[in-house]
Amino acid sequence: MIQARATTLSLLGDTETKSKAAPTKVDEIVETSKALEEAVMKALEISPPELSADIYTNGIHLTGGGALLHGLDKRIGAKTKLPIHVADDPLKAVVKGTGEVIKNLDMYKSVLIS
């Protein structure tokens, strides 16, 4: 397991208070990544067999901002024993995929509309 020692970081960017840096404790980030691990494990537990087979064959693909958390792919891979793939551009991957589905709606209707 990846371990981190508690320290305070200054993360740059806008926050709710609009300051330029938001102090965040590393242990808070570790707790968040643990929660993500558990959510992945729960999703795998309740997945239907045909989806589980697909995940086992192709691995897990991480997208979105969470995919940018350093080491998350390794933590999830160690926990699930599955290959983990991080999208080339995680922040835009979901939007691009949604665009592809919309362009090819007839092809995806059977899995989108019940």
Domain with 42, as residue range(s), is 8-112
Whether 87 maps to a domain, the answer reads yes
Residue 14's pLDDT band, with cuts at 50, 70 and 90, is low
- Average pLDDT of the segment spanning 80-105: 95
Q: What is the CATH number of the domain that holds 34?
A: 3.30.420.40
Whether 2 maps to a domain, the answer reads no
C-alpha distances (whole Å) from 60 to each of 41, 67, 76, 100 are 11, 11, 9, 20
| pLDDT > 70? residue 3 | no
Query: What are φ and ψ of residue 48, in 5° steps?
Result: -65, 155
- Structure confidence at residue 2 (pLDDT): 46
Interior/surface letters 21-52, b for 16+ CB within 10 angstroms, e for the rest: eeeeeeeebbeebeebbeebeeebeeeeeeee
Alpha-carbon distance of 70 to 52, in angstroms, equals 26
Whether 68 maps to a domain, the answer reads yes
Q: Looking at per-residue confidence, does 96 or 29 come out higher?
A: 96
Whether 99 maps to a domain, the answer reads yes
The domain tally of the chain equals 1
Round the average pLDDT of the chain to a whole number and report it. 83
- Structure confidence at residue 9 (pLDDT): 55
- Structure confidence at residue 10 (pLDDT): 56
Whether 35 maps to a domain, the answer reads yes
Q: Cβ neighbours of residue 19 under 8 Å, at least 6 residues apart?
A: none
- Average pLDDT of the segment spanning 20-24: 57
Whether 97 maps to a domain, the answer reads yes
- Structure confidence at residue 74 (pLDDT): 94
- Structure confidence at residue 4 (pLDDT): 47
